[in-house]
Homo-oligomer: A and B are copies of this chain.
Amino acid sequence: MTRYNLEVCLTPAIFDRYADTEAIVVVIDILRASSSICNAFANGAECLIPVPDLEMAREYKKKGYRVAAERDGYVQEFADFGNSPFNFTPERVRGQTIVYSTTNGTMSIEVASGCYRVLIGSFLNISSLERYLLDQDRKIILLCAGWKGKISLEDSVFAGALADRLLKSEKFSSSCDSVTLALDLWKLAEPDILSYIDKAAQRSRLREKGLDDCIPFCHIADSTDVLPYLVKGKLFNLNL
């Protein structure tokens, strides 16, 4: 039986060492982009357009798009709402195309876009992702969005949670130290994930801005079975 390689890339800044046009890449930005994207599709969004900067978001708004954009915790004056997963309510997103301004998440999606398929992963859709990935005959790379090129604890922990599930199947194997590291973090975090995540730098950043109300929600498994995936710079739900 062929075993497919599983790798974890802890920041998009080193993705060129992993990139492979035959691989499936799962982009992970737990606080908050990948959780928000999953929740948007769970609430019926038709399409999400992730954009890296506010200028692009503003241009889309001028063209009539619905836009989610904030910086430093403030919803931008031109935007319809902010970046918390709670902002992507059914009333706002059902059947809609939403432009979503996010820095780390977008950069990760961009660097992975030359690969065979790009999916968005979070605790919200972890079992759905697991089922999909176990069904594919391809190398898999779990790409953590991190923070400005550095490494984020919460993304690494999620990579460990997903790697743990995939490596229980004989289909996948790994000789990647970042997989080992992520699995060990997940082992430490699993018994009480919210306490563990309390020491993440992003937890403190969000708390200082009063934006940490979404953290428990972002760590609850399987609130949805959506599978956001990338098609020419836009995200759709593969699991309709």
A residues contacting B by CB (< 8 A) are 10-11, 13-14, 16-17, 147-153, 156, 175-178, 180-181, 184-185, 187-188, 199-202, 204
B17 adjacent to A150 (CB under 8 Å): yes
Q: In the complex, what residues of B have CB within 8 A of residue A180's CB?
A: 153, 199-201
In the bound complex, what is the Cα–Cα distance between A184 and B175 (angstroms)? 21
A14 partner, pick from B14, B152, B185, B201, beta carbons under 8 A: B14
A16 (CB) vs chain B CBs: closest residue = B149
Q: In the complex, what residues of B have CB within 8 A of residue A16's CB?
A: 149
In the bound complex, what is the Cα–Cα distance between A176 and B227 (angstroms)? 31
Given A177-B151, A178-B151, A204-B175, A10-B10 contact (CB < 8 Å):
yes
Of the A-B pairs whose beta carbons lie under 8 Å apart in the complex, a sample of 7, sorted by A's number, is: A147-B177, A150-B177, A153-B177, A175-B204, A176-B201, A181-B185, A187-B188
Chain B CB within 10 A, most for which of A10, A14, A177, A180: A177
A181 adjacent to B178 (CB under 8 Å): no
A156 partner, pick from B11, B153, B181, beta carbons under 8 A: B181
In the bound complex, what is the Cα–Cα distance between A175 and B202 (angstroms)? 10
A154 (CB) vs chain B CBs: closest residue = B177
In the bound complex, what is the Cα–Cα distance between A149 and B16 (angstroms)? 9
A177 adjacent to B201 (CB under 8 Å): yes
A73 to chain B minimum Cβ distance, whole angstroms, is 18
Chain B CB within 10 A, most for which of A151, A199, A202: A151
A153 adjacent to B175 (CB under 8 Å): no
A102 to chain B minimum Cβ distance, whole angstroms, is 19
Given A153-B177, A184-B185, A14-B17 contact (CB < 8 Å):
no
Q: In the complex, what residues of B have CB within 8 A of residue A13's CB?
A: 13-14, 17
In the bound complex, what is the Cα–Cα distance between A150 and B17 (angstroms)? 7
